Structure 1
């Protein structure tokens, strides 16, 4: 029989062995193994760093060697880094001298200037001038003598003075506003005054570019301003040629008291006429029986006319709605107006911001009279911040009731601040601004057009 105590004893031994095995430490937790692993990693890193350092050092030595070879080679020019070393060097050319005959001094430097002693002697070839005729062929003439001889034998007929009517013969000073040529001849047998309009020169151009104009001329026999003669319009020119004749029926007793007026105008693309100047000729001061051609400079205003008339307007400033209300009431004393059933009058209002036209409005057409009545209100929206930089230009216009109507500026006024207006027009503006919502009514004298549009 088996002894039970031995069995129990064997079981206890087996249990102790299992316990001993279970309590043993694994290999990766051993300190010696960890240090071995760390040491191998460090060694690998050091080897890698050493390889990199060795590679860099070798590369630098090779580059330095190539640069040393390039600098030490006296027969070649240093090449750029991008060029291959095997490329052949360009040949070294000899420096060109600015003075080939220059010599070197004792110091070995080039001498760029020579003394007169080193300049080679030379002589000019004999001058070959063809003589004037066979008698002088054996004579030797210089060039200056030959030229003087030619000048002395010029034909005087080739240099005869031109006629007085030609522009090239007139040594006249330049005209600021233009110059007009005309002739006047009176025929007492038929009591007719013949006026020949020849031409106009040196008219100012349009705008800053001096663009050409479309000028024409109106001829009046003052003091009668209702009857005039009108020339044809010349297109795109500043020196128009007219060569037109006009007749006026005048009796011999009153011919010396008459004054001839030439008014030059320009027609723009909008069919608006602009005055360019006037010429006044008192028939008592010229010889009207010869018909000689004469000229005279243009003037901006006609000195024979005292006033163009007055225009009555009313203006109101409404700051609560940022508006200016202007009422064109009427005009008076229009002495120079052409009273004709085919003519009409109207007033053009322009609101100008700085120098730019913002709005344009017109009244209805009225018959051509010396005292027309309009009574038409107009409203303009203006912000309070820019009202000091705005002005109103009111122009009294004349037009003809024909299919080819022409608008002409008779006179104008400017209503605005001190930057745009003066005199009574400035006082009117200041009074309107100081009394808002109050209508200010005044008469203003019409001014002639003195600037070129």
Structure 2
């Protein structure tokens, strides 16, 4: 009755059935991975999802690495091995049948297309013996600056009237400007066969020399002027020599509408003749085509590029600014030993070309000083445009 209990059985617990022996060769319960999985308190489907995401991320990283290596290998490959020369191809293809590069066209002879084209109209009035030159537009101009664009304008003149020129407005930031301007020149019928129309397209630079973009030389004796002509012409390369001119003048303008102060600062001149002595600048203000106020700078001796840097202030009410003409003229003593005007620049609402553009910029930006170089024009041309009458001077004794 009171015999000993079997070993391995605790007090108060009934003896269980004997455990079956584990199969030989299985590690389902004793392996490392099952032990780790058994310790993670996550469901089995979450573990499978994490494993699939890790596999996809690993495969994506490996694919990116392979693509980067392929790209680097292509870049390191020399271009000489990729390019195919015409000499290595054995066949009927020859080099003159292949379209040349752009650089080859520009550097080759006869490459007039690189300078652009110009559309203009010509009409000759046999009654008044005047020729009307209509400048329509220019296309495919070549920018000479680093920006890839230009501020073009055109200058029109005749070979028989070098002092009479017409300048168009400046068109900002374009290589295909639309000019749509017309100018007239009086040419006798007898001089028409030996007259050449000269059109020069330039890139506007406010404080430096204007860069030429192309030129057109059209002999009027080679065209039929019996009717109105409209034609496209190729621009040629810009020349180094310009038409006959008397120099250039640089000055700045500033206008304050509130106080009506118009400030003119005469800076410097260049390109004057060495034969001129003691040049100076006369600043003249005209109101309603009548002389109103006049100032002048001091004279400079022994130089063809005098530096003045003198300022003059005029009181012009805002109600009269549209009726004012500003005329700057360089005077100097020449061979006649008396001071004579070398050339003039007229600004105002009746001006044209660069002077009109400068005047418009000053009025559009009040209280701001704007400086610019201007080409001097012949005195008679400016006086005729402003309607001034020439004064008759008595000849000096011995002249």
Query: TM-score normalised to the size of structure 2?
Result: 0.40
Higher RCO (CA 8 Å, separation ≥ 6 residues): 2
